[in-house]
Amino acid sequence: MTLRLYDTKAGALRDFVPLRDGEVGMYVCGPTVQSSPHIGHLRSALVYDQLRRWLSYRGLDVTLVRNVTDIDDKILVNAAAGQAEGGSEEWWALAYRFELEFTDSYRAIGVQPPTYEPRATASIPQMQELIQRLIDAGHAYAAADGSGDVYFDVKSWPSYGELTRQSIDNMEAAADADPRAKRDPRDFALWKGRKEDEPPSAAFPSPWGDGRPGWHIECSAMSRRYLGPQFDIHGGGLDLRFPHHENELAQSTAAGDAFANYWVHNGLVNVNGQKMSKSLGNSVYAADLLGAARPLVVRYYLGSAHYRSTIDFHDGSLSEAEAALDRIAGFFERVERRLSGTRFAGHGVEIVPEAFAEAMDDDLAVPQALAVLHDTVRSGNAALDAEDLEAAATARGHVLAMTEVLGINPLSPQWRTGGSSVAESALGELIERLLADRQAARAARDFAAADRIRDELAAAGITIEDTPTGSHWSIGS
Ligand SMILES: Nc1ncnc2c1ncn2[C@@H]1O[C@H](COP(=O)(O)OP(=O)(O)OP(=O)(O)O)[C@@H](O)[C@H]1O
Ligand SMILES: [Zn+2]
């Protein structure tokens, strides 16, 4: 069976046929690094990680591009707010700080790094070139008010609205500029002239005056730069269909690029029926959830729903994921123990069962694929009960392959407790030994020795906290 994907633009499932045999180019809208990541952002990255892993398992060579929007109104506003409160962080430092948080959170849940991760500020010439092509083709114009803004002329592009199947007359006005400067209220900004209160470092020279790119043009230019004028899959959250993706599509096609062949959108993480969003203040931050639950559990939870469905986050959401993972880990432990030393140890080809492949090929039906995984765990356990070691070994190979494809193999080194490595557990052991020495020194009232141990640990970046239940340590302050 060939992979079928739901293409938002067609409004239907379509067989996936890559533009170039054996290769897939995929562009996913990445974060605007204005504040810390919430679990909606994690879900979005995770969905495309699952798709990428499945395409790779199917033998395709995937080039995944996920951008970082590192210049934007919200980044400038947040940096200015910090400065108004006496801080000195520049907008670009703030953007980089949050970019690192995103990278850490993605890594924690096992999202593989994209092939390329371009920052918007590094592709300004490509954005300007695209804007110039649009002006030359009569689809964009410089604002009449001398602001230095450049707008896309929606009325000049009859297919505007084709992605979301809207007629232009029913569309909302673009909220990004003074309506008086535009030919039509729905015209949206391609280039934003620098405003007086904006830092000079956020303005780039251009033929239309100093300024910065609009958000939509960034993705049109970066996808073209890294994947070419036509590529296979464009992804992003459902919230981006309009106006962001509609505008990307209009810009790129009006400039003569064929652009994305399939439009894939992930469903949102909601809280009480509303999108989890920084602006609504209902965010569950990635760092908080990852501090409260094992990263593997978070990955399983966010990745177990169908990618197009909505996830409603509430307390207790993670317990099912925890139990499911325990069942998988329990089977692995049991089967390894029973097979070790027998001729079936290491036996069992690591290949996914046909039913799993069919589910994944059916618009990435992960819930059905997980059902196959859990059925296989059950039959593997039953085989062990019946002492059918060959069947148990086959089940082991299947389960291994399925958990690898989904990135949820509990035995993978990535998931060792606390995300730790062999080096980290060795470090833990040494610190515990030093803490025991310190305790012994205190008991002997040798406070100088006890303090020396604490200071040496502190110099190595390890903080000690004494509590009534004993001394606890952490790395960093
Ligand atoms: N609640 C959510 N559920 C699923 N995906 C989301 C959610 N919020 C954002 N995304 C997706 O994460 C990616 C990065 O998003 P971006 O930084 O543009 O977030 P945003 O929509 O501005 O977030 P917020 O609404 O919290 O400000 C996009 O593909 C976006 O669609
Ligand atoms: Zn985008």
pLDDT, position 419: 44
For residues 46-60, give the mean pLDDT: 98
Q: Which two tokens stand for residue 439?
A: 């305790």
Q: How far apart are CA 239 and CA 301, in angstroms?
A: 21
219 marked as part of a ligand binding site: yes
Domains of the chain and any CATH numbers: 20-288 (3.40.50.620), 320-416 (1.20.120.640), 423-475 (no CATH)
Q: Which atom of ligand 1 is nearest to the CA of 41?
A: 12
Query: pTM of the entire structure?
Result: 0.88
Question: What is this model's ipTM?
Answer: 0.97
pLDDT digits (tens, 9 = 90+) for 99-149: 999 999 999 999 999 999 999 999 999 999 999 999 999 999 999 888 999
Closest CA to 120 of 78, 66, 67: 67
pLDDT digits (tens, 9 = 90+) for 217-261: 999 999 999 999 999 999 999 999 999 999 999 999 999 999 999
pLDDT, position 119: 98
C-alpha angle 19/22/26, rounded to 5°? 55
Q: Which two tokens stand for residue 76?
A: 């400038």
**Residue percentage of the chain with pLDDT more than 90:** 81
Report which listed range, 168-172, 305-309, 448-452, is most confident. 305-309
One-letter identity of residue 420: S
**Secondary structure of residue 438 in the 3-state scheme:** helix
pLDDT, position 424: 61
99 marked as part of a ligand binding site: no
Q: Are 160 and 196 in contact (CB under 8 A)?
A: no
State the burial class of residue 392 (Cβ atoms within 10 Å of its Cβ: 0-12, 13-18, 19+).
buried
Q: Is the CB of 276 under 6 A from ligand 1?
A: yes
pLDDT digits (tens, 9 = 90+) for 197-217: 999 999 999 999 999 999 999
Of all protein residues, the one whose alpha carbon is nearest to atom 26 of ligand 1 is 277
**Secondary structure of residue 400 in the 3-state scheme:** helix
Q: Which residue has the tokens 């979301």?
A: 164
Buried b (16+ CB within 10 A) or exposed e, 410-442: beeebbeeeeeeeeeeebeeebeebbeebeebb
Closest CA to 108 of 313, 295, 307: 295
Pocket test for ligand 1, best of 34, 38, 41 (most atoms within 8 A of CB): 41
Closest CA to 131 of 70, 184, 207, 202: 207
Tell whether the model's pLDDT for residue 469 goes beyond 90. Answer: no
Count CA atoms closer than 13 A to 340's CA, side-chain side: 6
Q: Which two tokens stand for residue 247?
A: 């505008």
Of all protein residues, the one whose alpha carbon is nearest to atom 17 of ligand 1 is 31
Q: How far apart are CA 129 and CA 60, in angstroms?
A: 32
Q: How far is the CA of 52 from the centre of ligand 1 (A)?
A: 19
Secondary structure of the chain: what % helix, strand, coil (to 5)? 50, 15, 35
278 marked as part of a ligand binding site: yes
Q: How far apart are CA 428 and CA 412, in angstroms?
A: 20
Local structure of residue 245 (DSSP, 8 states)? I
pLDDT digits (tens, 9 = 90+) for 365-394: 999 999 999 999 999 999 999 999 999 999
- Helix 295-303 vs helix 319-339: angle between axes, to the nearest 10 degrees? 110
pLDDT, position 472: 67
**Secondary structure of residue 123 in the 3-state scheme:** helix
Q: What is the mean pLDDT of the chain?
A: 93
More confident residue, 317 or 19: 19
Q: How far is the CA of 130 from the centre of ligand 2 (A)?
A: 15
Q: Which atom of ligand 1 is nearest to the CA of 69?
A: 17
Q: How far is the CA of 444 from the centre of ligand 2 (A)?
A: 64
- Helix 354-361 vs helix 389-406: angle between axes, to the nearest 10 degrees? 20
From residue 410, give the alpha-carbon distance in Å to each of 40, 68, 149, 330. Answer: 23, 30, 52, 10
Q: Which ligand is nearest to the CA of 284?
A: 1
